Structure 1
Amino acid sequence: MNQEITIVKIGGAFLEDQILLESFYTSFSELKGRKILIHGGGQRASKLSRELGITPKMVDGRRITDVRSLEVVTMVYAGWANKKLVSGLQGQGCNALGLSGADADLIRARKRPVSEIDFGFVGDVERVQTTALIRLLDAGFTPVFCALTHDGNGQLLNTNADSIAASLAIALSASYSTKLIYCFEKEGVLRDVNDPESVISEIDRYAFEALRKSGDIATGMIPKLFNSFKALEEGVGQVCIGSVGLLSGNAPKFTQIIL
């Protein structure tokens, strides 16, 4: 059996709640084996945008990114959020290394073509440079990726962190037994967004489409679920959505994604 690796993506709420964040630092640092962290920082990016007079625009949980918005997300994601997480993990003895997809050409993307919606400088992952990434893991580093990639021609691209997490998990599944965890402030995917106890224990594509059509699913959850199914279809061993307790195996409730 291949060596195990855990890919963890955290929601932006962690970065805004110090108590939640400290709990995450401890649980993630104690997670055994090789691991990678992916984060966004959308809440802070939206807040800073408004302070700068830029109105954030979202479609199905994805940010439309013009030139000014790209400057904001670069400052927040690659700067404030990434270094906050790296320093916090270092404080717990986890040898974290902050990265974007542009660093060492680790994640290359293509600018999303304009169709019904022009997302601007938004990228869709084309490839992951697994050889270099595995070397970093072999050297004892824990990569911490922000939600930025590049196109290989000098252009940074805002790229959904859920998609980056799935792409990393898929790319590494050829070398490792991979587990993908989408970790956020709720216990899992909720049947009723207003009822924190309404956690759905398992979701397949049929259940997802039903929830999506009925509107009984939070908009920000849609990219997570699309990417969850893609990851399973392309070789990832397990995908879960839930709270910090998932990392320590102490989550009373969580959502398992199944095909």
Structure 2
Amino acid sequence: MSSDTTGGGAPRTGATFGEDTIADARELIARYPQSRSALLPLLHLVQSVEGHVSQEGMAFCAQQLGLSEAEVAAVATFYTMYKRKPCGEHLVSVCTNTLCAAMGGDAIYKRLQEHLGSDGAPLGHEEVAGTPGESGSLMLEHAECLAACDLAPVLQVNYEYFDNQTEQSAVELVDALRRGDKPHPTRGAPLSDFKTVERRLAGLLPDDDDEFWTEVDGPSQAVETVRGAQLAADRNWTAPPAPEDVPMPEVEAK
């Protein structure tokens, strides 16, 4: 749907964003002393409704925050987490930064491109296998560092980690997702879907404690990540204490 303007020049959005979404937006905006600070959460809220950030979604954010659509677009097009094309039920991000690439990330990404492609053409970056939003549909992307170099090569599904991947394990993972299964990540919260995760990234969490912990409970660390700390503890290694009085360098006044 497109957005238009009222006679006074204020943007008006269509029926995509109903009263519930407007109420969610107002709740998010109220958390900040300056309303424009809520732009990033509102863009995640838009993605939780649409599955991407459309022109109408940017108009909605602009209207709620009293910004121009150009100001919203400048932010939405800067961050890669905001998708300008409809996403699949799941977002599959393969790390192809230096270490993951050297450990097999490039090969994994190429294999998934070929496996998920159609008519002999590989699936491109931020393209969707299946119909966007429908069960089993996947958007594939290559990603910059996912901050898990000790577990390379890694990929994420809806920002949850699947560590120490191989070409075969990655293919098995996406096949399971396309069947409608939700394999448990190596660590982190149980797998859900892209729109649900976007609502959580907006900062809208379940009110019920049991529901909240069911959604987020999971191992948060890997053995490899804490191996150095464990080795230090086993050998009783400690860092030297910081000096109590450290003179501050002089700074020339300007």
Report 1 or 2 for greater relative contact order, CA contacts < 8 Å, sequence distance ≥ 6: 1
By percentage of residues, which structure has more strand? 1
Q: For the superposition of Structure 1 and Structure 2, which TM-score range results when normalised by the shorter chain?
A: under 0.3
TM-score between both structures, scaled by the size of structure 1 = 0.27
Greater C-alpha Rg: 2
